[in-house]
Amino acid sequence: MEKGEKIIDAYELSVNDIVVDVSITSREEEPVPVYTISITNISDTTKIILEKIRDEFVAEETKKLSEEATVYDIQEQFKEKILKLLAKYFPNADKKTMDMLINYILQQNIGLGNLDILLKDTNLEEIVINSANEPVWVYHRRYGWLKTNVMIPSESRIRHYSTIIGRDVGKEITVLNPLMDAHLKSGDRVNATLSPISSRGNTITIRKFAVKPWTITDFIKERSISYEGAALIWTAVQNELSIIVSGGTASGKTSMLNVISNFFPPNQRIISLEDTREIMLPKLLHWVPLETRLPNPEGKGGIEMLDLIVNSLRMRPDRIVVGEIRRKKEAEVLFEAMHTGHSVYGTLHANNVRETINRLTNPPIDLPKQLLSALSLIVVQHINRRTGLRRTLQIAEVLPNGEARLLMQHNPVKDMLEIVNEPLAILETLHLYTGLSKQEIYAGMQSKIEILKWLVAKNIIDVNKIGLVMSKYYRNKPLEKLKGV
C-alpha cells in the first residue's frame, strides 16, 4: 500500500478461470475511492509471452474477419489456432491452464478487455467510459461512484468496443449515426456516443442487469421500505389494485416493480412489457415476458411499447407489468385496461407524488384527471446521491377525483417510512369488492407483517422461494405451514 492509502474493501472474482483481486481504497490525493483490479494467476512474464502470441496471430487474423461475424463466432473460430500457439510456448501446461490462457487472450484482444472483468462484478451497477484520457468509472452498490485503474488505450479502441457490442445485436454506430442504444447478451443496457457529439471523446455507458432480482426481503433488510408499507402494497396487489412506481433515474423503480411482483398469485396470467428485460418473476408464476425492438439500420422491424401493450390485451392477461410509461397513447391504453378490469403495474419518471399526478395529467402524457381514479396506489422511490441510499419516499392513494392523498412519507432524520394518513379510497374499494370491514382489512395487513418478519428472520431472499411462500399463502395456509419452504 502507498502512504496515506486506506483499504475500504477487498474481494476476489473468477472470470473464466482468471483470478482477479479487487480492492477499493481511499487515497489522500484522490477525491473519490479507487477501484483496483489485478489478475493474480497470470504472471508478468506470462503476459509478455501472451502479447507475443497476440502479435504473431490475433492482430493478423482479425483482418480476415467478415463484418457480420459476432464476438462469439470470432472466438470459436480462433480457439483451435490459439491453442496450437499456446502449446508451442507452454508445452507443459495442463488443460485447465490452457483454457484459462485462451480465455485471457480472447478477452483482451477480441472481447471487451478488462471491461469483461468489471461486467462480472455483481457489486457494480454501472460501468462508464468517458474517453481514453481518463480511467473507467464504476458505480458500486455500496460505495457509489469509484474511479478504476482500468484505462482504455485509445479512442479507436472505445469505438471498436461500441462496434462489436452493436454488431452482436444488429445495431451499428458510425459517424453518420453517432448515438447507439443496445444491450449485451447478458441483458446489460449499453449507450454509446462518438466524438465529436461527445466533445471530450467516445463514450460507453453500461447499466448492468441485476443477476439476482431484488425481493421484498432485500428491501426490508436494507431499510428501503417498512413492514407497514410492504403490507399495504401486498394488500393492494392481492386485491388486484393497480400501482404506479415513480422516481428519478437509478432510484430503484424497476427494483420496486420486481418487489411488487413478489406478491402475485400463481393462478393468474401475467404479461410483462419492457424495452430491455429487467423484471424477474418467480418461476412458478404464469408469466409471459415481452420486449420492444428497435428498427434495423433500414428502419424496418421495430416493435414499440404501444405495440406490445395493444397486443398484450389480446393475450387474456390478468395483470400487466410495464417497464416504463412514456407517451400519451401508451398511458391511454393502460388506463383503459385498468377501467376494463385489468391490474396494471408500471414505472414513471417523477420525483414525488405531486409530480407523478402532474406528469400524468400534463403534456406529453396529458390524461384527464378523472381517468386517474382507476389507479389505486402511487409508490415513489428516491435515491440520496450523497449517500447512495435508496428509499421508498412516499406511498399515496388516488382519490375518485384524481387527486392523490399521502399515506406514508419517509422521514430522512429518523430514516423511517412513517404513516401520515389512514387510507380512505383503498378501504372503501376493498370493502366494496370483498365485504371486509376496516378492522378485518387491518387484521389481514397485520398477518402479512408477521409473514414478512418471518421472511426477514429466515433471510429468504430467493425470488422463487418467496414465490412458493406466496403460493401457499394464497391457498390459505397459516404461517406455521409456510415455514416448510
Q: What is the pLDDT of residues 310-329, one digit of tens each?
A: 999 999 999 999 999 999 99
Asked whether residue 479 carries a pLDDT value surpassing 70, the answer given is no
Cell numbers 379510497: residue: 425
User: Averaged over 274-297, what is the pLDDT?
Assistant: 88
349 pLDDT tier (thresholds 50, 70, 90): very high
Judged by average pLDDT, the poorest of 1-5, 132-136, 233-237 is: 1-5
C-alpha cell at 83: 491453442
Is a pLDDT exceeding 80 seen at residue 2? no
Q: How many CB atoms lie within 10 A of CB 382?
A: 21
Section 42-70 average pLDDT: 64
Helix or strand holding residue 371 (H, E): none
Identify the band that residue 378 occupies on the pLDDT scale cut at 50, 70 and 90.
very high
For residues 166 and 186, give the distance between their C-alpha atoms in angstroms, rounded to a whole number: 14
- Within 10 Å of residue 40's Cβ, how many Cβ atoms? 10
Cell numbers at 396, concatenated: 399515496
Range 295-300 average pLDDT: 77
Q: What is the pLDDT of residue 48?
A: 78
Taking Cα atoms as reference points, which of 442, 394, 389, 412 lies closest to residue 243? 394
How many angstroms separate the CA atoms of 271 and 276, rounded? Answer: 14
Give pLDDT, residue 275.
Answer: 86
Q: Is the peptide bond before 364 cis (omega within 30 degrees of 0)?
A: yes
CA 122 – CA 126 distance, rounded (Å): 10
Least confident of 128-132, 149-153, 179-183, 191-195: 179-183
Asked whether the beta carbons of 398 and 378 are under 8 A apart, the reply is yes
What end-to-end distance do the CA atoms of the chain give, in Å? Answer: 47
- Residue 436, pLDDT > 80, answer yes
Write out the three cell numbers for 41: 494467476
Instruction: Return d(Cα 81, Cα 70) in angstroms, integer.
Output: 18
Rg (CA), the chain: 25
Residue 63 confidence (pLDDT) above 60: no
Which residues fall within 8 angstroms of residue 211, CB to CB, at 6 or more apart? Answer: 122
Amino acid at 228: E
Assess whether pLDDT exceeds 60 at residue 485: no
pLDDT band at 482 (very low <50, low <70, confident <90, very high): low
Least confident span in 38-52, 108-122, 338-352: 38-52
11 in helix, strand or coil? strand
pLDDT score recorded for residue 39: 83
Q: Are 356 and 380 in contact (CB under 8 A)?
A: yes
Would you place residue 426 in the very low, low, confident or very high pLDDT band (cuts 50, 70, 90)?
Answer: very high
What confidence score (pLDDT) does residue 282 get? 93
Q: What's the pLDDT score for residue 69? A: 56
Q: Which residue has the higher pLDDT, 30 or 428?
A: 428
Amino acid at 203: T
Closest by CA position to 99, among listed 112, 82, 117: 82
- Only one residue has cell 502479447, namely 51
What predicted TM-score, i.e. pTM, was given to this entire model? 0.82
Residue with cell 403534456: 363
Q: How many CB atoms lie within 10 A of CB 342?
A: 20
| 65 pLDDT higher than 60 | no
Q: Are strands 189-193 and 343-349 parallel, antiparallel or unpaired?
A: unpaired
Is residue 68 over pLDDT 60? Answer: no
Q: Do residues 214 and 143 touch, judged by C-beta distance below 8 A? A: no
Measured between alpha carbons, how far is 310 from 330 in angstroms, rounded to an integer? 9
> How far is CA 216 from each of CA 170, 272, 445, 449, rounded to the nearest angstrom?
36, 19, 15, 12
DSSP letters spanning 109-131: HTS-TTHHHHHT-TTEEEEEE--
Percent of the chain with pLDDT over 90: 66
**Which H/E stretch holds residue 135?**
none
Nearest alpha-carbon partner for 118 in 128, 133, 132: 128
Domain 216-482 has CATH 3.40.50.300: yes
Q: Determine which of 209-213, 254-258, 346-350, 449-453 has the lowest per-residue pLDDT on average.
A: 209-213
CA-to-CA distance for 146 and 307, rounded, in angstroms? 40
Give the pLDDT confidence score for residue 61 in this predicted structure. 55
| pLDDT score of 448 | 96
pLDDT higher than threshold 80 for residue 38: yes
Is 8 or 481 the better-scoring residue by pLDDT?
A: 8
Go through the chain and tell me how many residues it has.
Answer: 485
Distance CA 229, CA 395 (A): 8
- Grid coordinates standing for 325? 410509461
Contacts of 484 (CB under 8 A, 6+ apart): none
pLDDT mean over 124-149: 95
